[in-house]
């Protein structure tokens, strides 16, 4: 079983729509959780950290469910510029483990 698993998508949504997707992790002792964004052929960049109580950053909302071992990302009012691959990152000890990414395409 992979340490971090994501639905690869793609999620094709119209502008203004809401899109949400999850990431599951296998290590119950995982310590920190993040969502990164990666544009085509570019390096990943931090989108947001994920806190136990859930957190929002503008149109983005992240949730953590430790009991079921998943994190989620919700994007409201999608923009064309939100088109990217979203990587789930889970840390344990020294190690950052990355999911394979969920591709989101927002169409006009």
Residue number with CB closer to other proteins (78 or 83): 83
Q: Which one of the spans 10-18, 37-45, 53-61, 75-83 is the region binding other proteins (CB under 8 A)? A: 37-45
- Site track for other proteins across 11-30, x = CB under 8 A: --------------------
Of the residues 18, 45, 52, 77, which one makes contact with other proteins according to CB under 8 A: 45
Query: Rounded to an integer, what distance in angstroms lies between the CA atom of residue 1 and that of residue 57?
Result: 31
Residue number with CB closer to other proteins (78 or 103): 103
How far CA 67 is from CA of 14, 30, 31, 86, 96, in Å, comes to 33, 12, 13, 23, 20
Beta strands in 2-101 (DSSP E): 4-6, 11-14, 19-25, 32-38, 45-50, 55-57, 60-65, 70-75, 84-92, 95-98
Closest distance to other proteins from the beta carbon of 52 (Å): 12
Strand partners of residue 14: 107
Q: Which residues bind other proteins (CB under 8 A)?
A: 4, 8, 31-32, 41-46, 49, 87, 91, 93-101
């Amino acid at each position: 079983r992979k340490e971090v698993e994501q639905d690869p998508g793609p999620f094709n949504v119209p502008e203004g729509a809401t899109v949400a997707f999850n990431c599951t992790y296998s290590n119950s002792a995982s310590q920190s959780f993040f969502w990164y964004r990666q544009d085509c052929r570019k390096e990943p960049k931090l989108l947001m950290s994920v806190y136990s109580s859930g957190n929002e950053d503008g149109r983005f909302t992240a949730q953590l469910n430790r009991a079921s071992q998943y994190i989620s990302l919700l994007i409201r009012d999608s923009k064309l510029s939100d088109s990217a691959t979203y990587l789930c990152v889970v840390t344990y000890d020294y190690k950052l483990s990355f999911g394979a990414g969920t591709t989101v395409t927002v169409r006009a």
